[in-house]
């Protein structure tokens, strides 16, 4: 005779649901942190380019 799994109680089901919701929030938070980090790196790179261009423009203005 095959043993059947016990039917989860309502409190167990709530616990399972709460755990899944927490895991999903943690995953979403990790994704958002990765996006923020990538954005920060892009902002830093663009800021360097702007500074470089401003320096070149100042040199050209000084010549002309």
User: 14-23: per-residue pLDDT in tens?
Assistant: 999 999 999 9
What average pLDDT does this structure show over 8-18?
87
Q: Residue holding tokens 């902002």?
A: 43
pTM for the structure as a whole: 0.64
Determine the Cα–Cα distance for residues 18 and 27; give it in Å rounded to an integer: 14
Judge contact between 8 and 16, C-beta under 8 A: yes
């Amino acid at each position: 005779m095959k043993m059947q799994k016990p039917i989860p109680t309502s409190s167990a089901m709530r616990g399972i649901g709460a755990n899944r919701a927490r895991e999903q929030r943690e995953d979403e938070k990790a994704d958002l942190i990765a996006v923020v980090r990538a954005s920060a790196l892009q902002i830093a790179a663009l800021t360097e380019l702007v500074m470089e261009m401003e320096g070149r423009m100042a040199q050209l203005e000084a010549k002309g």
